[in-house]
A and B are shown apart, each in its own frame.
Chain A
Amino acid sequence: DSGVTQTPKHLITATGQRVTLRCSPRSGDLSVYWYQQSLDQGLQFLIQYYNGEERAKGNILERFSAQQFPDLHSELNLSSLELGDSALYFCASSVGLGAEQFFGPGTRLTVL
């Protein structure tokens, strides 16, 4: 158990819908990262927050947004969903910038 929790574990929805994925980092970790993994592909970095502020952006679509709240939990919002958005979404946390990341179990999103 990495100490990072993600909910829900599975999510099935239809195209055009909007979903919210939630992540609680390890206690004491200030950085939260979101990654997408599609069909056994590599981890695609989406976005990073550090202590509530957006720190870095990767290959995140404009239809996607995220935020980190004062209690340091984070949410990833995916809107106008397309079939190609079906993937595993991982959240990770770390104590600081560039430090070892601890990953949550992931949320499997299926868009039908």
Chain B
Amino acid sequence: DQQVKQNSPSLSVQEGRISILNCDYTNSMFDYFLWYKKYPAEGPTFLISISSIKDKNEDGRFTVFLNKSAKHLSLHIVPSQPGDSAVYFCAASARNNDMRFGAGTRLTVKP
């Protein structure tokens, strides 16, 4: 069941510009959302999260926006750097339940 969807398998942006990665979910019980970053041959690493009581969370160059009515969240990276090139996974969980991951979006930041 595809409860978390990342409809763009890949995204390419120029260094210094904004990267916007999108994620949609279907389960209205989800109340905690996360973004993970994955480099080749490594496990995913936690990047940033947001709970359903907020609509924005910022950490340096990374900002996550949550639109609960649209069941949509996005990750903004500004400015994008070549080292940000990786696969980004969106994940969501409901209280005390397992986490569901999207299929991932491969971000390429070109110098």
Q: B-contacting residues of A (Cβ < 8 Å)?
A: 2, 4, 33, 35, 40-43, 45, 48, 55-56, 58, 90, 92, 96-98, 100-106
Contacts and interface: CB of A to CB of B under 8 A. Distances in A.
A42 B103 contact: yes
Given A43-B101, A100-B49, A105 B42 contact: yes
* Secondary structure call for the B interface: strand
B88 to A, nearest CB: 11
Interface stretch (B13-21, B75-83, B90-98): B90-98
Given A2-B45, A90-B43, A103-B43, A41 B103 contact: yes
Contacts of B44: 43, 90, 92, 103
B73 interface: no
Contacts, number: 64
Interface of B: 6, 32, 34, 36, 41-46, 49, 87, 89, 91, 93-104, 106
Given A4-B43, A100-B34, A101-B46, A48 B98 contact: yes
A98 B45 contact: no
Nearest to B102: A42
A96 B95 CA distance: 10
Contacts of A43: 44, 89, 101, 104
Given A2-B43, A98-B95, A45 B100 contact: yes
A33 B104 CA distance: 18
